[in-house]
Amino acid sequence: MTPKAKKVPFKTHHHGHERVDHYHWLRDENWQQFIQGNLDFKDPDVETYIKEENTYTDITMRETEALQKELYDILVSRIKEDDERPPMKHGEYYYYSRIEKGQNYRFRCRKKGSLDAPEEIYLDENKEAEGKGYYSIGTSLRSKGDRFLLLSENNTGSMVYSVRVKDLEENKYLPWTIENNTGSVCWCADFEHIYYVERHPVNGRGQKLFRMNIHAGPASKELVFEKPDELSNLFFDLYSSANKDYIFLNLLDTNSNEVYYLDGKDPKATPKLFWKLKEHTIINPDFCEGSFYIVSNENGLINNQLFTCSENHIERENWNELIEHSETHFLEWFDLYRGYLVYKMTNNELALPELYVYDLLKGETREISMKDAAYSIGYLGALEFESPTVQFTYQSPIAPEEVKELDLASGRTIVIKQGHCPNFDTDHYEVERVFVPAHDGEEIPLTIVTKKGFKRDGKAPHFQYAYGSYGMSMPAYFSSTIFALVDKGFSFSIAHIRGGADKGYQWYLDGKMLNKINTFKDFISCSQWLIDSGFTAKGKITANGGSAGGLLMGAISNMTSELYNSVILDVPFVDVVTTILDDTLPLTPPEWNEWGNPIKDKEAYEYMLSYSPYDQVQAKDYPHMLFNTGITDEQVTYWEPTKMVAKLRELKTDQNMLLLKLKMTAGHAGSSARYKALKEKAFSYAFALKAQES
């Protein structure tokens, strides 16, 4: 029987407008316990409805179990079940990780003095994950001398971390655990003390910075810094400078930040102000060899510039430009090593990343050449400040990830790990990068993958993916999983839409706040272009996005549902107005600069209401829809997709599938276990194939 949620009117009033939410009751009062792994529902009707939806999903998809198994086997066949990452040197040791067939998590290993030395498994993630529904490591930092390992760990999939230190010589943890922190941790340079950020007990954002002696444990903790009340809406991040001389305290939202720094060598240091909060300005400092290096977008310089100043004269008037602002290239980040600065820029015209090395002694810049028309790079860096080389990954949509080593002095690169995907031949596929006209004349980058011999006759189904928020670029990446659908006749595309920074920072600004509608229209323009160009046909596209990309999926389903056969919404941010009105949620106040503040701003409220997927559900036909979410998700709470499914069941006029898959041991990132994650992917692909046959 199709689930049916009861309706309980819940009225809110803002700016003279009344909203009636009949499914507000699905937000259980005990939800904050869920993120700790305690699924004790206050309202048994909430638990009952979730179980009914999950059961209905299982029953609906039961006929695809053989297909799910087939897809799962294909996905597993295309991963290297036994795999090893290239080593990096730190002190006397070479560090690397590997994974074995049948294991869900990695073994973290090291060898002393030589790669020919005996292997030491210093951390077995499989053992750490035993008995837990979820396990991931946020930060892992080695001490000088390589005796101690500082770890932040997540056991629920929420944003709550615990901190531990392992004695690698004794192969045991020190007898304490610090709970309820953000996962942001640092060593003091004496490697006897650590810094960690404690969460606010109600809103969950970082609130207090503590310093603690690892041998004395929690009894020795001392409060070093507490976020000022006027900055309570900001996130709180912590990081060490390149050579560990300083520790930076970064209080930030998506629009601006305030930065403090403290002497990392002094276990009694107190933070000093480095940069006062300034609207529409974000700076990111680092330090090495007597100088601070600062990326800044001050004064509206959209694509950033890089400054430097001496250690003793940090005032703004003493900053000197090192890398000038560019109209054509967006400076994203930099990394410091002795004598060298590595930085990444986005070529705004091509919507592709570029990697550079700047010689700090010679004042010379060298661009590192790339070989494909569409590609992505992932920066790995090095573990030591004195390292003469760094590592980065390189891949294209049809070429598996390879690891390259970059010599900082010469700029030469060598491949230290070949890209390899089992049971896959890159010569069987083609990739194309096109620029699609948008509704307002802009050109949207679109990366398309097809099997060789693909016919553009409009008969094939298509799988279209995008994100489009927070300035996060969507790289032209390699996905071994998507070829399970490509081999079954699908074409595949990544739409590099506004809201991301794929074409620079302005591309991001043109898809946020009162420009957010561009994000949705860009995706629709790409869909229509794919139809007009013969890659697929109207009603044959499967659309997919997650989190803020799930908002995109909800919006396009309301706006132009006829273009899509099915829509897969992963941990979708669909109840936009309700969430951004609720300043008790961890992510809401810092995100007012991303979406607008509907509490104070009537225009922002009305604009948000005009596209919020939950608020815009209509009595009309919708595509087949699958909502994937997790009960411990703190970033997009479980009730958002649950409420939208309930409302769609009430209003939609079609007989298409509408499924909610709410995982009871996962959060925003889905399953942390690799085989379980592949089963979840196989489930979504089976849904897409079933929908195409309907």
Complete DSSP assignment for 24-93: GGGS-TTHHHHTTT----SSHHHHHHHHHHHHHHHHHTGGGHHHHHHHHHHHHHTS-SSEEPPPEEETTE
- The Cα angle at residue 214 between residues 171 and 244, in degrees rounded to 5: 100
Q: Are residues 402 and 461 in the same domain?
A: no
- Please tell me which residue in 633, 671, 672, 684 is annotated as part of the active site: 633
What's the token pair of residue 267? 């276990």
Catalytic residue among 547, 561, 566, 672: 547
Task: Note the helical H segments in 253-351.
Answer: none
What are the C-alpha distances in Å from 461 to residues 56, 313, 528, 655? 26, 61, 13, 20
Query: Tens digit of pLDDT for each residue in 149-207?
Result: 999 999 888 888 999 999 999 999 999 999 999 999 999 999 999 999 999 988 889 99
Whether 503 and 481 map to the same domain: the answer is yes
Choose one of 392, 420, 448: the last residue of a domain: 420
Active site residue 547: yes
Q: Is 401 found in the same domain as 517?
A: no
Range of the domain at 612: 428-672
- Residue 181 has a pLDDT of 93
Does some domain include residue 262?
A: no
Pair 459, 484 in one domain:
yes
Q: Are residues 361 and 468 in the same domain?
A: no
Based on the fold, state whether residues 517 and 554 are members of the same structural domain.
yes
631 and 503, same structural domain? yes
Q: How much is the pLDDT for 203?
A: 85
Residue from 200, 184, 162, 198 nearest 237 by CA: 184
Q: Does the residue 91 lie in any domain?
A: no
Q: Is 668 a known active-site residue?
A: yes
Which residue do the tokens 């390699």 mark?
478
Please tell me the predicted confidence (pLDDT) of residue 254: 86
Distance CA 680, CA 686 (A): 10
Q: Of 385, 420, 455, which residue constitutes the final position of a domain?
A: 420
Cβ neighbours for 176, distance < 8 A, ≥ 6 positions apart:
164, 217, 218
Measured at the CA of 377, the angle between CA 672 and CA 551, to 5 degrees, comes to 55
Is residue 201 helix, strand or coil? coil
Q: Are residues 416 and 440 in the same domain?
A: no
pLDDT along the chain (694 residues), means of 10: 95 96 96 85 96 97 98 96 96 97 96 97 96 91 96 89 96 96 94 96 91 96 95 94 95 94 94 95 96 92 93 96 95 96 96 96 94 91 97 96 97 95 96 97 97 97 97 93 97 98 95 97 98 98 97 98 97 96 86 93 97 98 97 88 98 98 79 90 98 92
pLDDT of residue 389: 98
DSSP H helices, 91-153, are 125-128
> Final residue of a domain: which of 370, 404, 420?
420
Provide the pairing of β-strand 161-167 with 178-187.
antiparallel
Residue 389 lies in a domain: yes
The conformation of residue 670, written as its DSSP 8-state character, comes to B
Closest Cα to residue 285, out of 340, 321, 313, 246? 246
Same domain flag for 334 and 457: no
Look at residue 77 and tell me if it is in a domain.
no
Instruction: Output the six-digit token pair for 252.
Output: 């930030």
Are 620 and 529 within one domain? yes
Spatial separation of the C-alpha atoms in residues 83 and 260, rounded to whole Å: 41
Q: pLDDT value at position 584?
A: 85
304: alpha, beta or left? (left if phi > 0; alpha if psi -120 to 50): left
Q: Is residue 118 part of a domain?
A: no
CATH of the domain at 467: 3.40.50.1820
Identify the CA nearest to 589 among candidates 31, 297, 204, 226: 204
Q: Is 639 exposed, middle or buried (0-12, 13-18, 19+ CB in 10 A)?
A: buried
Contacts of 396 (CB under 8 A, 6+ apart): 372, 374, 375, 376, 431, 476, 478
pLDDT for position 669: 65
Inside any domain, residue 351: yes
Look at residue 519 and tell me if it is in a domain: yes
Total of domains in the chain: 2
Catalytic one of 158, 668, 671, 684: 668
Judgement on whether residues 451 and 350 belong to the same structural domain of the protein:
no
Residues 415 and 471 in one domain: no
Model pTM score: 0.94
Residue 26 lies in a domain: no
